[in-house]
Structure 1
Amino acid sequence: MKLWLPFLQIFGMKQNSVYLFGLKDFLMKRTLLFFSLSLVMLVPSVLMAQTLTATDTTALKKPVAISLLNVSNELEQTQNRLVKISQNVKELDIQPDFDSLIGVHSHFLESEADDVNKVKAQTISNFYLENASRNWTGYQKRIKVAINDIRSQLSILQENIKSLTFEKEVWQLTLQNASEKADVPNELKSQINKMITQISKLKTTFEATQTKLILQENKLTDLLITTNDVLDKIQNLKKQMRANLFISSESVLWKSALKHSDIFPVANHLSNVWNINKKSISIYFVQKNFFLILLILLLETVAFIFLRNRYNKLGYNESNPGFVNANFVFNAKRVPSLLFIQLSTIIIVLQTIPLSISALLTMALLLVAIPLVSRFAGDKGKQQSMIIFFLFVINETEVIFWYFGDLLRYYLLVEAIAGIVMTYYLMAFKFKKRETENAPYAKKVILISSFIIALFSITIVADIFGFVNLATLLTKTTTKIPAILLIIFLLYKLLEIIIVSGCEAGKSFKWNAVKYCSNIELNLIRVLKLAAFYLLIEMALETLEIYKPVADWIAEALVYDIAIGSISISMGRILGMILIIVVSYFTANIFKVLFGNSEQVNKRLSKGFMFAINKTVGYIIITIGFVLGFAYAGIDLGKFGLLAGALGVGIGFGLQNIVNNFISGLILLYERPVEVGDIVTVGTLMGEVKSIGVRASKIKTFDGADVVVPNGNIISNDLINWTLSDKKRRLEIKVGVAYGNNPNDVLKLLQKVAVNNDNVLVDPAPIALFDDFGDSSLNFRLLAWVHFNNSLSTKSQLSIAIYDALAAADIGIPFPQIDLHVKDHFTEQPKVVIPNPPANSPEIVDNEHDKD
């Protein structure tokens, strides 16, 4: 547009004149329409054309000799390409030395695998199996990462080797063509020979690197097989232990005597505990990269401090909803709150962390939770969290006694008895006394406490009769499930407060998303609830030691193929398709929230134009989502050709109105005779346009009714748009005065009334006109321009002001009068003549009978 401005200025036109001509608006509308329709039509074609692979494209290329006139130029370009390809070799050399990695891992994994293969289900502890499972899962992930790195490098090498092979064939043909001609200089032939030699050397280097990487990949694959075998062994041991839960593995406790070797020497047993945990911890910290978790913790800290400062600047107090909770999190307990969130993040993200570190982090998390939980559950909740903390510490100490033989069984008894005592006297007993104070809450606590006491009682019985595995699982479940509930509950409450406070602080920004804060807050809390529920189920299943079997069963169910005719589908693909479509829908809504009706954008673009952009981009995103979803589900869109033909016939007969409304909606979006926010009259309907949809538009009348009008009706019928070009509206007030008044005085009075009203616009200026001589009055008109939103109130104000001004000036307002004149035509009293009845009248006959 700026390119045309100098030429337009030559003819005396300014930039505003260009907008009056509508040239810019016209070009932008047509460009957007063409771009949008092109994307909608091309996206499915591009996605369906992905079946043409790179191999197919390469196969279509055939080496052709270069023209001798372009050899010099092509030599230079080929040399530049070789330099770039050579850089790939240097980048591959920078990659980690997989040989040393393989050497270290091979020796280490072999020794670790031997240790695992020697253990038996009868002599191993749950702690050892869980720790080994986490360690070997970490090994598996690192090996898979190394294999993926090698495969990505092999892919790069393969593409470079193909490219070098093609280049070599091209230059060989060029050299053959040059050798057949005698007038080609030898120097040129020599340059071509050097290029072929250089290409050959680089290709040989690439092939050697490729061979090396293939060998490394094979070795890593062997290590991965070993790792998978060990994990299968661990899972089988866990399965055996679960199968032996209800099988007595030891004699009854009164027949079991403690051996001297079970306790002494104590130092040796403790040394074994330390060495095993030290080994797993050292291996984890040596091989783990903590950059990601440190980055997440840093971002959490920065976000927390930023949000705290923004919220404190709002100046809220106790009268504002949510202030007490926000002040508690951001000011009173800001350090424990941030520490609790960060400790929770570490535990959730680092899933393969050794159990000993995980236990220490969880203890720290429960300890930090004690001063925080009082805000949401009072002193009672604080007391409960202390009990949960102590029970958790007692249960984690159980790990030490696994190395003290039968002493473990006595520790299980002590642990269960301590659990019963603490649960009864500190929770159930006290709440039973306070049941009248807070009956519903007390009843819940008593019910949960009774369930915990029952589990501890079963633990005692199981331990006494030799069901050690069952007793261990019950104590673990009884102590860790309450801890998990407490952590997830407190984490949910803290994040909920942060979300609500963040939305409150976000309202201070002049962003378009501010008006959606309520919906954003509601949706984020819903997502938070789902995440908390998922986390609770996952941790509970892990505590019960059945997470892996359940996850494997769900995975098998999702990938199970169901054949329907020639189509094979699975639940996983269907859920994936639904997820992709839902994500595309939310992405379109996020785009609308971020960019729709933005004040900064609307300084240059109209509201209707931005609405058209949002609608178009939304349609494109959702279309891409549907195409990707069907592609993920394995549905061939090419097989819908017959359906499209049938749909075309259906459109021709039964769906013409729907298609008409759809096309009309596109016309409304891009031609923009109506924009969102306009005041329109369609037939007898008048109101504000709230939205323009695919099939229909929504108009809100001034009576408050939402009317859905098909787009076809808006396009085909007469449409009055009161605010298309501007928001001004002209008012017309008619008034008549009695004959005998000076019309000039009346005109000045009307003009003065209009000028003195603040709602009347200065430009265009109001004007008073003498209309005509009426039957009983001199008729005048007052014309005034006002903003459309103020038209009704301004008209009322002007009418009252005119009446008051006329009355003050003693100018009467006539009204039609009718004089009724009644004339009397009778001077005498009129005589009433009653005719005689006929002779055969029933009355005459009756009278004669009466006389007789």
Structure 2
Amino acid sequence: MHKIINAGTTLNGFLKLITLICIFCILPAIPVNAQDDTTKTAYPTADTLFHDVKSVPNAYVADKVWLDGVNRSLLPSGRFGEIEQQLAAIKQNFASLKTATAQTDLSKEYVEALSEYLRLWTRQKSGMDSWNTDVSGIVTTLSAQQAGLKKKIEVWRLTDSVAVANSAPASILQKIRSLKYELVETSGKLTSGIDRLLKSQNQLVEDYVQTELMLSQVKDYFLLSKRELFVQNSSTLWDFFASSAQSRSFFTSFVNIGSVYLTATGTFFTGGTGFLLVIVVYFLLLAGVIIAMSRFFKRITPDDPLLQRSGMPFNFPFTTLVFIFLFSLNIVISDVPEIFLTVIHLLMIFPIILIFRQISDRRYHRTIHIVGAFLVLQKLKLVSGSGSDAERILLTIITAFSIGVLLWVQLNREVAARVDLFHRYVKLLFRTLTVLMAIAFIANLFGYLMVSITIVNGVLNSINGIAVLTILQRFILGSILLFLNTDTAKFSLIVRDHYDLMSKKIAGFISVLVKILAVSVVLRSFGMFVVTWEFLESLLGAEINVGDLSLKVETIIVFFFSVWIAVKLAQFIRFILEKDILIRMDLDRGVPATISAVTFYLISGFGIIFAVVSSGLDMNRFSLLAGALGVGIGFGLQDIVKNFISGIILIFERPIHIGDAVQVDELSGVVRRIGIRSSVIKTWEGAEVIVPNGNLISNRLINWTFSDKQKRIDIPVGVAYGTRPEKVVGLLKACAAAHENVLETPPPNVFMKDLADSSIVFELRCWTADFDSAVIIRSDLMIAIEKTLSENGIEIPFPQRDINIKQVTEIKNGAE
């Protein structure tokens, strides 16, 4: 049935909305008087002078519970025992570290060794600081408990005297005196514990001072050993190779730095082997997960191209397992010897090479092997010791061979074709790498080692980091897509009906994130991250002055970014509500759209408020702007405000719903979207018309599908004079009843409508529940009617006219 809606019908709904808003605004301001007759506790406080005989049982229970808590804190398994165990471990670590440092000549050590000692002494100082903080906190707590005990002892002493004077029962006196004895005993334990902790702190003072001195000494040696960038740090390359002792010192440097790493490793494992056990358990768990994912990937045989590409690492689970295990160790473990991390980085190169062999074309395999060899040499250079002969030799080998390989690839047309070198971006990349390696080789040639090392480490670390990010991108995306293919995920209607959309959105998000991380990796590899970050901070801190108004660039960016995040979050939640949650609920038509729209605008509104607050905008500066905006609303923005309020009315009153067939003035079609300012109506011809919400509220609106989708079909039929009307009525009703989409209730009806000039006009009226197919049903009925009337010999006349032609004698040359 259709419904005609005028502007007056919306008044009641609008007034209801205004009333609700006023109620919600006024309610918080109404004072609510709390009850004053609250029940007071029957337990006396520590400030009570004494307990009367009646309150002794309750007070005894309360103080007994409190006293048990105090005693538990003094047990060896409690905090007091843990503190003493930590102190013993700290002192033992200090002694062993002090002995190892005393046996080392710090003035002759490499930067790597000094960095390791710096890490160990920093960790030692951090442990002492943490222990002192914990001890001070416990001493403070125990002192407060001691003060409370003294008050309670005095209270129970006076209670004992009062109970004796009042001839209290023996059971009461026994409770009072037993608790008083326990309080006195615990007070002595507290005093002893505080004294022991203070004495332990005094014992650690001397070790702490020595730790600070050793840390300062190691830091000084470390800073002295660091080399400046644009300074000649060593002799020229020809002088270096001219020395006769190079062959011996090359291996000697490896032996010396190796001994330092072994000492650091032994110190690290002193105190337990639980670290290795945790690593083994973690490896086994990770192996089970990746093997299960690999089997699931092979079982589902995905036809999704995106899943096929991203899931390729699951075709070789062992290699992927080793890579993920080493990468996660590099991220998770902290405060370990530097050699651990270097070895992890070195071992990661081999699974990277194997994975890239599997996911890339065969023509790139030789290039992958060459790059992998350079990465291995670079990691060996890092562990050879800064300033050592081994470092210089490995640096020379890397730069010389890399220049040779890059030139060979670019000059050999066959090889260049294999690696797509004729693509302009690839060609630019190879030329850039060639120039950088040439600069590194020349810098090494003339003794500017830090320039050469910075370039080599920057290039190779960037390649390594981007390779790691590429593999992680495929692994993470493949894991997510595999989960979306599980039965658990497919329970969600969003996953089941919008899998392609979700997979593309997730892939796009991960791709953007990987690109940002890749830029960060390149900047860090060349040592430019800090400089770039400081530049961005200065740029964000710049102020833009517009008259008296001053805004920071950071404030503007934070504001718009927060608004963007809020809108995207609102869209995502609205998508979930519409496509998964609300569709499962038995709600009236139009209610899901209202809920999703209100949720969207509420989240967006709170997001804008949060953006204003988080950006730190001073709203007092916008008072003039707000006044101008008010004038603008009063004069120039009337239509916008009108449409905005009309949109709110449409959302809450719901005179139309998405999918309704409506007619506004001369415009008719289907409602596709209801917005806060305007709505979209798609006409029967396919055009999408944006209609301001004010027109839908103020103009005459016909909603053909407001309560249901039933539509009446009217078909006029003319028959020749002389035809029996009863027969025509029966035939027309039979045609309507024979159609499957014509409703039986209300039944089809036929009326004689007119006695026209050439025919008797009947009209068939029937109903259908399928509004969208009404035109097709009408066409089917007309075809059936024509066929039925023809078969029964009933003529459908058409207007006839007699034309009389008169012959007129043609007069030639009439003018003559």
TM-score, scaled relative to structure 2:
0.72
Contact 1:456 1:474 in 2 (8 A): yes
Distance 2:624 2:38 in 1: 43
State the one-letter code of the partner of 1:379. Answer: R
Instruction: Choose the corresponding residue for 1:535, options 496, 514, 517.
Output: 517
Matched with 1:770 is 751
Instruction: Choose the corresponding residue for 1:751, options 708, 725, 733.
Output: 733
* Superimposed CA distance per residue, residues 428-459 of structure 1 (whole angstroms, 9 cap, x where no aligned partner): 56x53244567545776666555545544544
Matched with 2:601 is 619
Distance 1:564 1:642 in 2: 13
In the alignment of these two chains, the number of paired residues is 764
Matched with 2:48 is none
Distance 2:234 2:90 in 1: 36
Q: What is the 5 A alignment of 1:409-808?
A: 409-421=392-404, 427-428=409-410, 432-435=413-416, 440-441=421-422, 448-449=429-430, 451-496=432-477, 509-512=491-494, 514-548=496-530, 550-551=532-533, 575-598=557-580, 601-635=583-617, 647-648=629-630, 650-762=632-744, 764-775=745-756, 776-808=759-791
State the one-letter code of the partner of 2:309. Answer: N
How far does residue 378 in structure 1 lie from its aligned partner after superposition?
0.7
Distance 1:265-1:663 versus aligned 2 partners, 3 A rule: closer
More displaced stretch, 672-681 vs 104-113: 104-113
Matched with 1:325 is 309
* Superimposed CA distance per residue, residues 551-574 of structure 1 (whole angstroms, 9 cap, x where no aligned partner): 566567767899999999766565
Distance 1:501 1:110 in 2: 53
More displaced stretch, 69-78 vs 454-463: 69-78
Distance 1:297 1:809 in 2: 86
How far does residue 275 in structure 1 lie from its aligned partner after superposition?
1.9
Distance 1:436-1:378 versus aligned 2 partners, 3 A rule: closer
How far does residue 794 in structure 1 lie from its aligned partner after superposition?
1.5
Distance 1:716-1:661 versus aligned 2 partners, 3 A rule: same
State the one-letter code of the partner of 1:358. Answer: L
Contact 2:234 2:449 in 1 (8 A): yes
* Superimposed CA distance per residue, residues 3-39 of structure 1 (whole angstroms, 9 cap, x where no aligned partner): xxxxxxxxxxxxxxxxxxxxxxxxx999999999999
Distance 1:384-1:263 versus aligned 2 partners, 3 A rule: closer
Contact 1:326 1:501 in 2 (8 A): no
Distance 1:642 1:289 in 2: 67
Matched with 1:272 is 259
Tell whether 2:231 aligns with 1:249.
no
Contact 2:345 2:379 in 1 (8 A): no
Contact 1:120 1:237 in 2 (8 A): no
Distance 1:609 1:766 in 2: 32
Contact 1:751 1:768 in 2 (8 A): yes
* Corresponding residue SS for 1:735: strand
* Superimposed CA distance per residue, residues 138-172 of structure 1 (whole angstroms, 9 cap, x where no aligned partner): 78998999899999x89x989x999x99xx99xx9
CA-atom RMSD, angstroms?
Answer: 6.3
Contact 1:366 1:385 in 2 (8 A): no
Distance 1:414-1:833 versus aligned 2 partners, 3 A rule: closer
How far does residue 710 in structure 1 lie from its aligned partner after superposition?
1.7
Distance 2:434 2:410 in 1: 10
Contact 1:248 1:465 in 2 (8 A): no
* Superimposed CA distance per residue, residues 562-602 of structure 1 (whole angstroms, 9 cap, x where no aligned partner): 99999997665655555444433333223212222436654
Distance 2:354 2:370 in 1: 13
* Corresponding residue SS for 1:736: strand
Contact 1:363 1:389 in 2 (8 A): no
State the one-letter code of the partner of 1:325. Answer: R
Distance 1:445-1:630 versus aligned 2 partners, 3 A rule: closer
State the one-letter code of the partner of 2:666. Answer: T
Contact 2:297 2:482 in 1 (8 A): no
Distance 1:109 1:329 in 2: 46
Distance 1:496-1:237 versus aligned 2 partners, 3 A rule: same
* Corresponding residue SS for 1:246: coil
State the one-letter code of the partner of 1:622. Answer: S
TM-score, scaled relative to structure 1:
0.69
Tell whether 2:367 aligns with 1:369.
no
* Superimposed CA distance per residue, residues 67-116 of structure 1 (whole angstroms, 9 cap, x where no aligned partner): 99999999979988996999799799966945654675588579979999
Distance 1:593 1:490 in 2: 31
* Superimposed CA distance per residue, residues 239-264 of structure 1 (whole angstroms, 9 cap, x where no aligned partner): 98463443233463255442797367
Contact 1:681 1:720 in 2 (8 A): yes
Distance 1:621 1:75 in 2: 56
Q: What is the 5 A alignment of 1:81-480?
A: 97=82, 101=86, 104=89, 125=110, 127-128=112-113, 241=226, 243-250=228-235, 252-254=239-241, 256-258=243-245, 262=249, 269=256, 271-279=258-266, 282=269, 302=289, 305=292, 309=296, 312-313=299-300, 316-317=302-303, 321-322=305-306, 324-325=308-309, 328-330=312-314, 332-337=315-320, 339-350=322-333, 354-402=337-385, 405-421=388-404, 427-428=409-410, 432-435=413-416, 440-441=421-422, 448-449=429-430, 451-480=432-461
* Corresponding residue SS for 1:596: helix
Q: Where does the alignment leave 5 or more consecutive residues of structure 2 unmatched?
A: 1-12, 30-35, 45-51, 163-167
Q: Where does the alignment leave 5 or more consecutive residues of structure 1 unmatched?
A: 1-27, 46-61, 180-184, 835-852
State the one-letter code of the partner of 2:249. Answer: D
Distance 1:73 1:818 in 2: 120
